[in-house]
Amino acid sequence: MNNALSVDYLVATPAEQADVPGDLETLETIRQRVLWLSTSMIHHANRIRPNPSGLKVGGHQASCASMVSIMTSLWFEQLQPGDRVSVKPHASPVLHGINYLLGELDEKYLTTLREFGGLQSYPSRSKDPDNVDYSTGSVGIGATAPIWGAMARRYVETTTGGAGSAGDRCAGSASGRQYSLVGDAELDEGAVWEAILDPGIADLGEVVWIVDLNRQSLDRVIPNIAANRLEKMFDAAGWQVITVKFGTLLEELFTRPGGQALRTRILDMPNPEYQRLLRCSADEVRTRLPGDGPGSGSAEISTLIAGLDDATLTAAIRNLGGHDLAALTAAYRQIDDTRPTVIIAYTIKGYGLPTQGHPQNHSSLLSVEEYTSLAAELGMDSANPWGRFTADSDAGRRCASIADRLRRDPVPALPDLTIPADIGRTPKGTATTQAALGRVLLDLTREAPEAAKRVVTVSPDVSSTTNLAGWVNKVGVWSSAERRNWFDDDAETIMHWREKPTGQHMELGIAETNLVGLMGELGATWSRWGQPLFPIGVMYDPFVERALEPWSYGIYAGGQSILVGTPSGVTLAAEGGAHQSIKTPSIGLEQPGCISYEPAFAIDTEWTLLASIGRLGRPDGTSAYLRLSTRPVDQTLAAVPTDPAARERRRRQVVAGGYPLMRRDGAVVTIVAMGAMVTEALAAADRLAEQSIPADVVCVTSPGLLFEALQARQGRGPGESWILDQLFPADRATPMVTVLDGHPHTLAFLAGINQVRAAALGVSKFGQVGSLDDVYRYHGIDTDSIVRAALDILP
């Protein structure tokens, strides 16, 4: 197995393994039933359910079998009601099988794996009918979610006191452990190590990872899995490392004459050689296992295994710790709840199935004959596979007892919170939309203090440069324990980093995937504990793409949050192409479960941010993405109406997707601009007017909402289309120039509202360093370019 250790780690001993609670025979009976149910769900989906299209249905019988022992021991021996578990994606049938035995899933769903409206391919909080703690499926993201779940729960506990429940067990948390069941290949994901290494999680003693070390990937046996390297990496990050390597049978053999030679031989052999032994008959094992190298101890090993019958020998070679219920229970008893723990459990992919240990068994399916043979081996009926245990059986009583123990209290009703729609101030002078972010948050603390207490901001070491300094000074930085601020008496320190359990700002290292992972879990507290939070994450807009997948997956899993990308676009001229975002407006337009805004003025920022906060933390809620700028803009250009009714009409338009900024009599062209480009659009309209070419100017705040309105008008989606009539009335339909600091296709669809000629201006190539005028001219979004485009499309 090629993994000799050079660091001392905790390993369960035979004595510890023998002294475990519970009836191992009953647990083994349940384990076999879980194996059968998970295998049968996949078998039915592929071999029995009609499939007229002939497309692959799929499923992972071998990956499930690898996890059955770990999950059986965890659920039926270890879990408490306050614990939560993230299950590796390909083991979802195991989770459903366990929930079925516990009475949490109706039998009708067992035949619906990967069927429309049925059990999902991978565990899903939002789509599966049974209890799923964490959505998984995107490699590495579901694995790290319990880390951010633990942090979110601690935040709720210290700021609202609302995450406590039955099952108190951890020194660092009032509500239990956060388990993550991870495949060894999943540890190849860089996002996993970004999370593990973040210094903020060193004190999260409720975090427990269990690594399914089956040493296989999709296509092969991994030749150099280097388990000792993984152990050292976790250890270096401050985690407790517990290795569950061998089961009780092998450990007992190691105590016999020749046992130490056998142990050394198994540890030193390459992974592929060991995996090949799993496919051998007893006679082949007797030939291969001793080895033939000098000093290999082959003679001692031969003598030892000569005294074993065939069944014991083949069982021994498969007796790894990850399938030994006693060894697993012993490992759980060693968990240190003062720091994160990883349990590395050696397993066999496909354990208990005819395909066990085969290098290509990842997505292979049992044949009908193999399935029937497995049924006979397990004492099951292949024609009627869905039987539960009888209530008067030992296994039935255990299932009923565990179901009762794990039953959670209902989620409390959500508090009634009022979010103001309008603070009431009209910004004057010159300001940026980025600076407006911090001002709105501070205003919220005065106008709606109860709602403001639910706001939690998150950033990757960019708090001051994204104008959050005032907010951070006001509310403090969250920490599980109060820490002294050694610069509080330094008169030149403007930003005060006061860390305390009631702080409302959380800052991680520079790892965007960590940031949005935490945002997703902070945004799910309403559904877990009835305590809504309003998480607002801030990062440089060019890095939104780096964070997109985990943020999108958090939205899919029910985490509602606001992502603020700032500064944005080529307007960040002096930073050059590497720091100039081009595609992010399209991301906002296309991301499901999210409303995107790119405000042009400070008042637009206020209204859209308040509206976005108002949509968080509720069953019908949605996330938001705000794209802000550092470009100073004359706020009088917003021409905010002074009449209260007209002002409210403007606010509704801003929140709905846009507003008419300038209407000129007899307009023959319409300039549509977004964000920072409004200044150029207004200047272009003035220059066209000098040529007796009147132009309307429309300011778009959300292309996504306008597209949804267009779809609704055409009968292709729900919602209202009134905003289109106010922005682009048919009686003012003229040729259109669209311009934004981003890819031009973002607004190009607007010309289709009234079927007019159009020119779409924007950024479609990497940026350049330079002055704002030079950069805008280079990309063709300056005032001259807008004027030329308008002249080109006029009749």
Task: Divide the 795 residues of the chain into consecutive groups of 10 and give the mean pLDDT of each group.
Answer: 41 47 85 97 95 90 94 96 95 98 97 96 95 91 94 92 51 72 90 90 93 68 64 93 93 93 86 83 91 75 92 91 94 94 92 79 83 95 95 96 95 93 95 95 94 93 74 87 70 71 87 92 95 95 92 94 94 80 91 97 98 96 96 96 98 98 97 97 98 98 97 92 97 98 97 97 91 94 98 95
User: What is residue 22's predicted lDDT score, i.e. its pLDDT?
Assistant: 53
pTM attached to this predicted model: 0.91
User: What is residue 269's predicted lDDT score, i.e. its pLDDT?
Assistant: 82
User: What is residue 355's predicted lDDT score, i.e. its pLDDT?
Assistant: 83
Sheet holding 736-739, edge to edge: 658-662, 695-700, 669-674, 736-739, 758-761
313 CA to centre of own chain:
44
Give the closest residue to 454 by CA, choosing from 686, 333, 618, 229: 618
Residue 317: CB partners within 8 Å, gap ≥ 6?
A: 277, 278, 285, 289
Q: Token pair for residue 238?
A: 């401050």
Give the closest residue to 215 by CA, choosing from 36, 8, 361: 361
Q: Token pair for residue 65?
A: 């079998």
Cα distance between residue 794 and residue 339, in whole Å: 68
User: What is residue 492's predicted lDDT score, i.e. its pLDDT?
Assistant: 61
Helices and strands per DSSP (H, E), number in the chain: 31, 21
Half-sphere exposure of 68 (CA within 13 A, CB side): 28
DSSP 771: -
Buried/exposed 555-583: b ≥16 CB within 10 Å, e otherwise? bbbbbbbbbbbbbbbbbbbeeeeebbbbb
Classified as helix, coil or strand, 700 is: strand
Contact 171, 337 (CB under 8 A): yes
Give the closest residue to 69 by CA, choosing from 322, 430, 380, 272: 322
Contact 69, 323 (CB under 8 A): yes
User: What is residue 489's predicted lDDT score, i.e. its pLDDT?
Assistant: 62
Q: Cα dihedral angle (271, 276, 281, 284), rounded to 10 degrees?
A: -80
Cα distance between residue 106 and residue 58, in whole Å: 22
Contact 557, 569 (CB under 8 A): no
Question: Assign residue 657 a region: left if phi > 0, alpha if psi is -120 to 50, beta otherwise?
Answer: left
The string of DSSP letters for 55-75 reads: ------HHHHHHHHHHHHHII
Each as own residue / partner, the long-range contacts of residues 311-318 (CB below 8 Å, 24 or more positions apart, any chain) are: 311/282, 312/249, 313/282, 313/285, 313/286, 314/281, 314/282, 314/285, 315/249, 316/249, 316/250, 316/253, 317/277, 317/278, 317/285, 317/289, 318/278, 318/348, 318/351, 318/356
Strand duo 207-213 + 430-431: pairing: unpaired
The CA-based angle 470-471-473, given to 5 degrees, is 65
Cα distance between residue 311 and residue 144, in whole Å: 40
User: What is residue 1's predicted lDDT score, i.e. its pLDDT?
Assistant: 57
Sheet holding 594-597, edge to edge: 499-500, 477-478, 505-507, 455-459, 534-539, 562-565, 623-627, 594-597
Half-sphere exposure of 588 (CA within 13 A, CB side): 34
Question: Assign residue 770 a region: left if phi > 0, alpha if psi is -120 to 50, beta otherwise?
Answer: left
Q: Token pair for residue 156?
A: 């709720």
Helix boundaries (H) for 224-297: 227-236, 248-254, 259-268, 271-277, 282-288
499 CA to centre of own chain:
27
Cα distance between residue 238 and residue 48, in whole Å: 49
Whose structure tokens read 């704002």? 772
DSSP 406: H
User: What is residue 575's predicted lDDT score, i.e. its pLDDT?
Assistant: 77
Classified as helix, coil or strand, 609 is: helix
Backbone angles phi, psi at 626, to 5 degrees: -110, 125
Cα distance between residue 41 and residue 711, in whole Å: 39
Cα distance between residue 28 and residue 26, in whole Å: 5
Share of the chain residues as helix, strand and coil, in percent rounded to the nearest 5: 45, 10, 45
List residues bridging with 739 in a β-sheet.
673, 761
User: What is residue 164's predicted lDDT score, i.e. its pLDDT?
Assistant: 54
DSSP 353: S
Backbone angles phi, psi at 146, to 5 degrees: -60, -25
Q: Token pair for residue 427?
A: 């910004």
List residues bridging with 483 in a β-sheet.
499
Residue 511: CB partners within 8 Å, gap ≥ 6?
A: 194, 195, 198, 460
Residues written for the chain: 795
DSSP 761: E
User: What is residue 359's predicted lDDT score, i.e. its pLDDT?
Assistant: 66
Classified as helix, coil or strand, 738 is: strand
Q: Token pair for residue 585?
A: 């407006």
Contact 72, 30 (CB under 8 A): yes
Cα distance between residue 738 and residue 746, in whole Å: 9
Secondary structure of 550-602 in HEC code, one letter for each residue: HHHHHHHCCCCCEEEECCCCCCCHHHCHHHCCCCHHHHHHHCCCEEEECCCCH
Half-sphere exposure of 571 (CA within 13 A, CB side): 28
Residue 230: CB partners within 8 Å, gap ≥ 6?
A: 184, 187, 211, 344
User: What is residue 163's predicted lDDT score, i.e. its pLDDT?
Assistant: 64
Cα distance between residue 652 and residue 660, in whole Å: 12
Question: Assign residue 102 a region: left if phi > 0, alpha if psi is -120 to 50, beta otherwise?
Answer: alpha
Contact 302, 166 (CB under 8 A): no
DSSP 44: I
DSSP 320: B
Task: Count the neighbouring beta carbons within 10 Å of the beta carbon of residue 588.
Answer: 25
User: What is residue 220's predicted lDDT score, i.e. its pLDDT?
Assistant: 47
9 CA to centre of own chain:
30
Residue 316: CB partners within 8 Å, gap ≥ 6?
A: 249, 250, 253, 308
DSSP 171: S
